[in-house]
Chain A
């Protein structure tokens, strides 16, 4: 399906780009692939950066999980390849968790 299987990085490598948008570290978050249902850390996704933006694919089924494109003063973010992202918020859990 993909000609060069060694042209990707780990989802870890998107941490800098994602830190421009999200306050929390998304790469350590757990996400579910909307196509195959695999549940993995975003850091484990396959990341393709040799394109106008960043594309992250599911390490199991290669479905596109995330697309991020910088265009001038805008950033486009497509997350429809994931059904959810679960972020750990230890510093917030006391105040926000249900009693």
Chain B
């Protein structure tokens, strides 16, 4: 069932990514980690559907946020990141998916691993925990190309400074800030061992990013002794605008 969402706010996260806040009438509510399908229709009737993870925590106002990364050859993402303005309407279907979700009742340690825009559904989990005053132990390992590609930077900083904070580790793949201890490189076994929960705490892990990133991160977690049953993954592929 498609619902109409009205754009109420726009915020640029990076040079290529934008957060769109939508007010959706009769929004049934969602759980952190779920996504929505967004349908955009051109004046000639051609329409395209893309899936986007929800970035916002569940809230009673019926507002939902998605963060869209512009893909150079994308069909939908250039429109969503460059052309949409406040008061525009988008069709939304969802919330969708009941597996890659974190519920506030979960109390076990949570390991979040994001590759690039894979941070979006994990941010919904962090925000959901914060907005309900949750104290479940959270760790986030966030792999990005360079400092300028970080989404939600100030908010993550504030949440990681807070009491009962989320412990935050950045890993840079192309260029790191000056004096950063780890040279730019992909995530590896040493980083996973240092920056994630020991497997004897039996954490639940959520890994989201491009398929090759997720493959590698999930494999490293499993090699560190984490049961594959406790590793939930959400991949987005090299084609299409999915994120």
Contacts and interface: CB of A to CB of B under 8 A. Distances in A.
A6 B211 contact: yes
Interface string B222-235: 00000000001111
A13 B239 contact: no
A15 B211 contact: no
Contacts of B232: 43
A15 B215 contact: no
Contacts of B93: 16, 19
Contact of A12 (B37, B49, B234, B240): B234
B44 to A, nearest CB: 19
B129 interface: no
A67 interface: no
Nearest to B215: A6
A10 B215 contact: no
A41 B229 CA distance: 10
A25 B211 contact: no
A23 B91 CA distance: 20
Contacts of B100: 10, 12, 43
A32 interface: no
A10 B239 contact: no
A31 to B, nearest CB: 12
B72 interface: no
Nearest to A24: B98
Contacts of B199: none
Interface string A33-58: 00000000111100001100000000
Contacts of B99: 11-12, 27-28, 41-44
Given A16-B49, A16-B51, A6 B97 contact: no
Contacts of B242: 9, 13
Contacts of B18: none
A7 B212 CA distance: 9
A9 B235 contact: yes
Q: In this complex, which of B99, B215, B236 has the most chain A Cβ atoms within 10 angstroms of its Cβ?
A: B99
A27 B97 contact: yes
Give the top 4 A-B pairs by smallest Cβ distance, nearest first: A43-B99, A28-B98, A25-B98, A15-B96
Interface of B: 35, 37, 49, 51, 93-94, 96-100, 211-212, 215, 232-240, 242
23 contacts: A5-B215, A6-B238, A7-B238, A8-B235, A9-B211, A9-B237, A9-B242, A10-B234, A11-B99, A12-B234, A13-B235, A13-B236, A19-B93, A19-B96, A28-B97, A28-B98, A28-B99, A41-B99, A42-B99, A43-B97, A49-B237, A49-B240, A50-B237
Given A16-B93, A44-B233, 12 more contacts: A8-B237, A9-B236, A12-B97, A12-B100, A12-B234, A15-B98, A27-B97, A27-B98, A41-B99, A43-B232, A44-B99, A49-B240
